[in-house]
Amino acid sequence: MSAVELLPECQPPVDTGLLRFLTCGSVDDGKSTLIGRLLFDTKTILADTLSAIARTSERRGLEAVDLSLLTDGLQAEREQGITIDVAYRYFTTGTRKYIIADAPGHEQYTRNMVTAASTASLAIILIDARKGLLTQTRRHSYLAHLMEIPHLVVAINKMDLVGHAEDVFDRIRSDYLAFARQLGIAEATFIPLSALNGDMVVDRGDAMAWYEGPTLLELLESVPTVFSETDQRFRFPVQYVCRPQRADDPVLHDFRGFMGRIESGEIHRGDEVLVLPAGIKSHVKDIHLLDQSLPSAIAGQSVTLLLENEIDVSRGDMIVRPQESALVTRQIEAMVCWLSETPLDPQRKYVIRQTTRLSKAAISSIDFRVDINSLEQMPADHLAMNDIARVSFRLAQPLCVDAYSRNRATGAFIVIDDTTNNTVAAGMIL
Amino acid sequence: MSSQALSHRPAALSHLDWLEAESIYILREVAGQCANPALLFSGGKDSIVLLRLAEKAFRPGRFPFPLLHIDTGHNYPEVIEFRDRRARELSERLIVRSLEDSMRRGTIVLKAADESRNKHQSITLLEAIEEFGFDCCIGGARRDEEKARAKERIFSFRDEFGQWDPKNQRPELWDLYNARVHKGENIRAFPISNWTELDVWQYIEREKLDLPSIYFAHRRPIVRRNGLLQPITALTPARTDDVVEELMVRFRTVGDIPCTAPVESAADTTAKIILETAETTITERGATRLDDQTSEASMEQRKKEGYF
């Protein structure tokens, strides 16, 4: 730590960061074609990949190159002609990098979509213009809302098959808004498009001059990327404690750095902090990123915090500010999505992992199960794969939590079966 | 309910800052959750980036894992020299286990003396995992490299035979990784899963990272075979009817000599490589990996058998 430097003030002016989004839709909505179109029109598909899918298209007797083949990943899927797992795709426009979570449909849909949604800042819900709102549109919208994805885009696709008619678009939009209100969805953006021809995806095309809003890519380029953009409260779950204990170096001999990523808010040198769950106060002595000493750091940065006092902090603790503390609790209520083929057994104990913390957990009650198609609340005494339910847990160790609707990082948890070590459920704290 | 609400706000972190912070977070999760991890370091660009991220994750402390290289014995000498030098500069422990040891033990049997050794690395890797009792191997694989990798988890579970079962992977939500394993099982952790080849080069440029010289344009005797460039080396000599040319080339990946092909290039600096990468028309593996062309599903097959 001899060469301590200040962080350069300037970011490259053209870089507007990274946006993660997911696409929801079934085989027939043209979801794979839309992703293929985005990759193709942003010149992400390279020549050898394109010639490989051209060969496959030809072998299958197709007239044009099938862009949806780009997103068919694994051998097992190709054999069955279906996609079974979330796949991640990448493209860049030069100003922004994108990660697409491609969640396939079919019987494991809920599980896949919840997984894909967990890291997404934006969801594209595809509607076939010929069909309008379907049960699945409702399901996708409910899950997007449940997972608190900040931005919702309703892409009304296959406009080429309805004569690019504005009134079709308007009717679907007002239908959607009516039921979105029932769900409590506050905001959505509507775009008419043809993934097949590329209209309103990257290029505007000539077919829908009546539409004056942004193309899909223009929208993606302008949406805020910040993950926990609504929560300004400082949240720093400690991942690892660095204690070099180097006898030969007086600076490092007593060095004690608390390493982690700032999940929300920001922190400045000199700020007063509170360490949870113990409730001990201290001040930030310094913020390190390798050999740089930073005056402040913001959400998303992985840093090392040095505190004024020698206090006992370990992995699993959370550093916050005293005036905006998190709830320390041994009892949580949550919406849970069951992910495992082995059903939930209310008699059993499970392990919960939330931020960097672990606790044994028992089921206090299953309050209700949500019918994903009718959105009705049903009584339940166990949960099977893809079920969504409200569940209350008792915990052996206290957790430091916020409501998931305010903070995705401190409000989310996974449930682990400690006999198999599998991840069996995802939870959103109420 | 309109696009008005989605007005532009400047992003807090650049895409490289975001990727770096995520990778540091993943490395620290490995250190926090695993008892005995190792970092796979080959001297290739992706693992060089991993070492830089490990410095950012753990300095001023030592890395909480040794570096492990599975040496095919068919590596370019520049890369091996680089590997040893980098480990020395970092004062970190480097473990090398070689395919030739496995061949002597009889656990690897080659069908032909000159066949690619790339696919056999899995066996030596599994033997090293068993020898040292590693519960996690950190690798530099990226999801953009190949179709089978697009669905790979960041923490990928392997059974005691090192097998990857694409139909039975643990769900991975938010940044809540689950590295719990029973004895004998292990995790492969991929901190740069979300990086692309271009991101890697941009990061190398930004951090001014040193690379083995063969990544940059240099003259080399080459034979053109099946649309790929085959370097003429002691391991891969010219055949009698070959037309050998002296070409300016660089390597986009560095692996086993017989299965790694360079590309024609005059890019002799990282900045020029970034320009070429941004404009390139052939995928990294398509251009350079003779072993991935065998079948469309070849990477998936190797991964199921324990390849990283």
Does position A79 have pLDDT exceeding 90, yes or no?
no
Interface contact flag, A48 B286, Cβ < 8 Å: yes
What are phi and psi for residue A57, nearest 5 degrees? -60, -45
Q: Residues B57-95: pLDDT tens digits?
A: 999 999 999 999 999 888 889 999 999 999 999 999 999
Q: How far is B113 from chain A (nearest CA, A)?
A: 30
Distance from C-alpha of A356 to C-alpha of B29, rounded to nearest angstrom: 8
Higher pLDDT, B10 or B199: B199
With CA atoms as reference, the chain A residue closest to B5 would be: A187
Q: Residues A5-25: pLDDT tens digits?
A: 333 333 344 677 899 999 987
In this complex, is the C-beta atom of A318 within 8 Å of any C-beta atom belonging to chain B?
Answer: no
Average pLDDT over residues B259-263: 85
In this complex, is the C-beta atom of B218 within 8 Å of any C-beta atom belonging to chain A?
Answer: no
Per-residue pLDDT at A71: 59
Of A125-139, A286-300, B292-306, minimum mean pLDDT range: B292-306
Higher pLDDT, A3 or A55: A55
Q: Residues B232-241: pLDDT tens digits?
A: 888 888 888 8
Kindly state the percentage of chain A with pLDDT values over 90.
64
Angstrom CA distances, B284 to B144, B278, B295, B298, stand at: 9, 12, 16, 15
- Tell which A residues from 177 to 196 touch B, by Cβ distance under 8 Å: 177, 186-189
A18 touches A98 (CB < 8 A): yes
Does position A153 have pLDDT exceeding 90, yes or no?
yes
Per-residue pLDDT at A64: 62
Average pLDDT across chain A, whole number: 87
Q: Three-class SS of residue B138?
A: strand
Using an 8 Å CB-CB cutoff, list chain A residues near B58: 240, 242, 259
A159 touches A129 (CB < 8 A): yes
Q: How far is A347 from chain B (nearest CA, A)?
A: 22
Does position A349 have pLDDT exceeding 90, yes or no?
yes
Interface contact flag, B59 A84, Cβ < 8 Å: no
Kindly state the percentage of chain A with pLDDT values over 70.
84
Q: Residues A156-197: pLDDT tens digits?
A: 999 999 999 999 999 999 999 998 998 888 889 999 999 999
When scoring A1, A11, A16, A18 by the number of chain B Cβ atoms within 10 A, the one with the most, hence best to mutate, is A18
Give the pLDDT band of residue A33 (cuts 50, 70, 90): confident
Average pLDDT across chain B, whole number: 85
When scoring B9, B15, B158 by the number of chain A Cβ atoms within 10 A, the one with the most, hence best to mutate, is B15
Give the pLDDT band of residue A70 (cuts 50, 70, 90): low
In this complex, is the C-beta atom of B239 within 8 Å of any C-beta atom belonging to chain A?
Answer: no
* Tokens of residue A327, six digits: 């709830």
Interface contact flag, B17 A188, Cβ < 8 Å: no
Q: Residues B145-188: pLDDT tens digits?
A: 877 777 889 999 998 887 887 767 899 999 999 999 999 899 99
In this complex, is the C-beta atom of B276 within 8 Å of any C-beta atom belonging to chain A?
Answer: no
Average pLDDT over residues A79-97: 74
Interface contact flag, A17 B13, Cβ < 8 Å: yes
Using an 8 Å CB-CB cutoff, list chain A residues near B180: 416, 418, 421
**The model's pTM:** 0.89
Per-residue pLDDT at A415: 98
A118 → closest Cβ in B56, B173, B194? B173
Q: How far is A219 from chain B (nearest CA, A)?
A: 8
Does position A399 have pLDDT exceeding 60, yes or no?
yes
Q: How many residues does chain B have?
A: 308
List all residues 6 or more positions away from A132 whose beta carbon is below 8 Å from its beta carbon: A171, A172, A175
Chain A / chain B CB contacts < 8 angstroms: 207
Interface contact flag, A86 B281, Cβ < 8 Å: no
Does position B259 have pLDDT exceeding 90, yes or no?
no
A189 → closest Cβ in B3, B56, B198? B3
Average pLDDT over residues B263-273: 91
Average pLDDT over residues A239-263: 88
ipTM: 0.90
In this complex, is the C-beta atom of A392 within 8 Å of any C-beta atom belonging to chain B?
Answer: no
Per-residue pLDDT at B5: 35
Domain A19-228 has CATH 3.90.1150.10: no
Does position B2 have pLDDT exceeding 60, yes or no?
no
Give the pLDDT band of residue A363 (cuts 50, 70, 90): very high
Helix H or strand E encompassing B248: strand B245-250
Q: How far is B88 from chain A (nearest CA, A)?
A: 19
Does position B286 have pLDDT exceeding 60, yes or no?
no
In this complex, is the C-beta atom of B282 within 8 Å of any C-beta atom belonging to chain A?
Answer: yes
What are phi and psi for residue A276, nearest 5 degrees? -105, 150
Q: Residues A92-120: pLDDT tens digits?
A: 887 899 999 987 766 567 888 899 999 99
Helix H or strand E encompassing B16: helix B15-33
According to the 3-state scheme, what is the secondary structure of chain A? CCCCECCCCCCCCCCCCEEEEEEECCHHHCHHHHHHHHHHHCCCCCHHHHHHHHHHHHHCCCCCCCHHHHHCCCHHHHHHCCCCCCEEEEEECCCCEEEEEECCCCCCHHHHHHHHHCCCCEEEEEEECCCCCCHHHHHHHHHHHHCCCCEEEEEEECHHHHCCCHHHHHHHHHHHHHHHHHHCCCCCEEEECECCCCECCCECCCCCCCCCCCCHHHHHHHCCCCCCCCCCCCEEEEEEEECCCCCCCHHHHCCCEEEEECCECEEECCCEEEEECCCEEEEEEEEEECCEEECEEECCCEEEEEECCCCCCCCCCEEECHHHCCEEEEEEEEEEEECCCCCECCCCEEEEEECCEEEEEEEEEEEEEECCCCCCEECCCCECCCCEEEEEEEEEEEEEECCCCCCHHHHEEEEECCCCCCEEEEEEEC
Distance from C-alpha of B256 to C-alpha of A243, rounded to nearest angstrom: 39
A226 touches A300 (CB < 8 A): yes
Per-residue pLDDT at B298: 54
Domain map (residue ranges) of chain A: 19-228, 235-324, 327-429
Using an 8 Å CB-CB cutoff, list chain B residues near A75: 148, 297, 300-301
B151 → closest Cβ in A52, A87, A187? A87
Average pLDDT over residues B277-305: 56
Per-residue pLDDT at A84: 60
Q: How far is A18 from chain B (nearest CA, A)?
A: 5
Using an 8 Å CB-CB cutoff, list chain B residues near A315: 32
Q: How far is B46 from chain A (nearest CA, A)?
A: 17
A125 touches A24 (CB < 8 A): yes
Of A16-20, A57-61, A337-341, minimum mean pLDDT range: A57-61
Higher pLDDT, A229 or B49: B49
Kindly state the percentage of chain B with pLDDT values over 70.
86
Q: How far is B25 from chain A (nearest CA, A)?
A: 6
Q: Residues B99-141: pLDDT tens digits?
A: 888 888 888 888 877 677 777 888 899 999 999 999 999 999 9
Of A220-229, B4-13, B33-42, B187-196, minimum mean pLDDT range: B4-13
Using an 8 Å CB-CB cutoff, list chain A residues near B15: 15, 17-18, 92, 96-97
Give the pLDDT band of residue A27 (cuts 50, 70, 90): low
Higher pLDDT, B214 or B254: B214
Fold identical between A19-228 and A235-324?
Answer: no
Higher pLDDT, B56 or B289: B56
B173 → closest Cβ in A115, A257, A302? A115
Interface contact flag, B150 A243, Cβ < 8 Å: no
ω into B66 cis (within 30 of 0): no
Q: Which CATH architecture has domain A327-429?
A: Beta Barrel (2.40)
Interface contact flag, B286 A339, Cβ < 8 Å: no
Average pLDDT over residues B294-299: 47
* Tokens of residue A21, six digits: 């989004």
Domain A235-324 has CATH 2.40.30.10: yes
- Rounded CA Rg of chain A: 24
Per-residue pLDDT at A67: 63
